[in-house]
Amino acid sequence: MSSHKPRLVSGDTPTGRLHLGHWVGSVENRVALQDDYDCYFLIANVHAFTTRMERPLEIRESVLDIATDYLAAGIDPKRSTIFIQSEVPAIAELTFFFSMLIPYPRLMRNPTIKDEIRDKGLGDNYPFGFLLYPVGQVADILSFRAEIVPVGEDQIPHLEMTREVARRFDQLYCGVDSHTEDRDYVKNGGLFPVVELKLGRTRRLVGTGGPTPEGNLLKMSKSLNNAIFLSDDADTIARKVKSMYTDPKRLKATDPGTTENNPLWLFHETFNPDKAWVEEAKARYREGKIGDMESKNRLIEVLVALIEPIYQRRQVFAADPGQVLAVLKEGTAKANDITQETLRLAKMAMKQDYF
Ligand code: ATP
Ligand code: MG
């Protein structure tokens, strides 16, 4: 049945646990789209090695953590497939072929790569494999011949590269005319659909910390110690919200504050279902008529209401890692079936099918 639905691929790097940025950027959409698409969710453990090659045990633990987070957040293994990237070799094989279709200067212009080098403090000594990971991501997606990818804003450059590789491959090896509309590539003989991206309702959730010296708010990220996790209990959420950055010029409750670029209010805008309260409270904040504590306490209520059910379900799955591993094993087998078929078809198109 499910094979008649269009395929959806998305995933996460096991560099920690899932946080609110993942939820609004991607996971919320993934949960909602499970009935309409044949869904594949990958845990990108190979890519975790790009920034923490010296910590394999941590990556291993994080693979299980992310899988547990998925199940707790509502990804249903009866409808969707969850798998481990390193155990699906066709992805690695396709990465090599696809790397030929991406000019090196094109890769170096990728703004997300530049941001990550800066924000993760990678300096100029990052491994070659770090530059390879966006190409690997192209293969993650194309190896399933996916049609849609729900992701956050930082993934736009990677997705654009994926679309370019799909067009290039289809033109070079499948004889698709370069004037073809993106949606017609497969209809006109291409192997790879030109994938569409689906951004979350908040494309880039900021972290709980303040701005950088340049005045930018960093995105919430597992690696930047500025995240509220889907596995945080109510006390932890309260502690994190209470210590959240707000407008430093606002010393007393009676000083007017700015709601622009202020994580507290950005969080209310994203998560508080009571829009009328948010607008009214923001107006009061700008006039110095509401204290940080009132809006923080409100935010704690809102976030606990969202995360608590996920947290409770997570406790159940976390108590049974054997069950989580069984889900991963079954999902990985299914991912191998599909990606091996793609690899076979890709090699045929590239005239490298010998035996
Ligand atoms: P890392 O710090 O290791 O890069 P991360 O927190 O950025 O981790 P990823 O695994 O790189 O998480 O991203 C997984 C998915 O979640 C991607 O689709 C990404 O766009 C989305 N995402 C991550 N952080 C955010 C955020 N703060 N806002 C919106 N979407 C996000
Ligand atoms: Mg990231």
**Any idea which ligand is nearest the CA of 16?**
1
pTM across the whole model: 0.93
N residues, the chain: 355
- Of all ligands present, the nearest one to the C-alpha of 156 is 1
- Span 70-113, pLDDT tens digits: 999 999 999 999 999 999 999 999 999 999 999 999 998 999 99
| Ligand 1 pocket mutation pick from 10, 12, 202 by most atoms within 8 angstroms of CB | 12
Residue 2 has a pLDDT of 46
Q: Which domains, and CATH codes, for the chain? A: 7-200+320-349 (3.40.50.620), 206-315 (1.10.240.10)
**What does the pLDDT average to over 296-303?**
97
Looking at ligand 1, which atom is closest to the CA of residue 120?
Answer: 2
Q: Best of 221, 225, 226 to mutate for ligand 1, by most ligand atoms within 8 A of CB?
A: 221
Least confident of 9-23, 115-129, 243-257, 271-285: 243-257
Calculate Rg over the CA atoms of the chain.
Answer: 22
pLDDT (average), residues 186-207: 95
CB 91 within 8 A of CB 136: yes
Closest CA to 271 of 307, 246, 231, 242: 307
**For residue 155, which atom of ligand 1 is closest to its CA?**
20
Average pLDDT, the chain: 94
| Tokens 């696809």, located at residue | 98
Mind listing the pLDDT tens digit for each residue in 323-353?
Answer: 999 999 999 999 999 999 999 999 999 999 9
The conformational region for residue 261 under phi > 0 = left, psi -120 to 50 = alpha, else beta, is left
User: Which residue ranges have their beta carbon within 6 Å of ligand 1?
Assistant: 12-13, 15, 21-22, 24-26, 151-152, 154-155, 200, 204-205, 219-223
* Mean pLDDT to the nearest integer, 297-305: 98
Ligand 2 midpoint to CA 353 (Å) = 36
pLDDT, position 211: 86
pLDDT, tens digit (0-9, with 9 covering 90-100), for 8-40: 999 999 999 999 999 999 999 999 999 999 999
Q: Which position has the higher pLDDT, 253 or 92? A: 92
Query: What integer is the mean pLDDT of 235-251?
Result: 87
- Give the chain as a 3 state SS string: CHHHCCEEEEEECCCCCCEHHHHHHHHHHHHHHCCCCEEEEEECHHHHHHHHCCCHHHHHHHHHHHHHHHHHHCCCCCCCEEEEHHHCHHHHHHHHHHHCCCCHHHHHCCHHHHHHHHHCCCCCCCCHHHHHHHHHHHHHHHCCCCCEEEECHHHHHHHHHHHHHHHHHHHHHHCCCCCCCHHHCCCCCCCCCCCEEEECCCCCCECCCCCCCCCCCCECCHHHCCCCECCCCHHHHHHHHHCCCCCCCCCCCCCCCCCCCCHHHHHHHHHCCCHHHHHHHHHHHHCCCCCHHHHHHHHHHHHHHHHHHHHHHHHHHHCCHHHHHHHHHHHHHHHHHHHHHHHHHHHHHCCCCCC
Q: pLDDT band at residue 245, thresholds of 50, 70 and 90?
A: confident
The set of residues, in sequence order, having a beta carbon less than 8 Å from that of 349 and lying 6+ positions away, is 169, 173, 174, 191
Which-ligand-closest: CA of 204?
1
Mean pLDDT of 170-179: 98
Distance 154 CA to ligand 2 centre (A): 7
**pLDDT confidence bin for 258, thresholds 50/70/90:** confident
> How much is the pLDDT for 124?
86
Greater model confidence, 351 or 289: 351
pLDDT average, residue stretch 238-264: 82
Tell me, what's the pLDDT at 253? 67
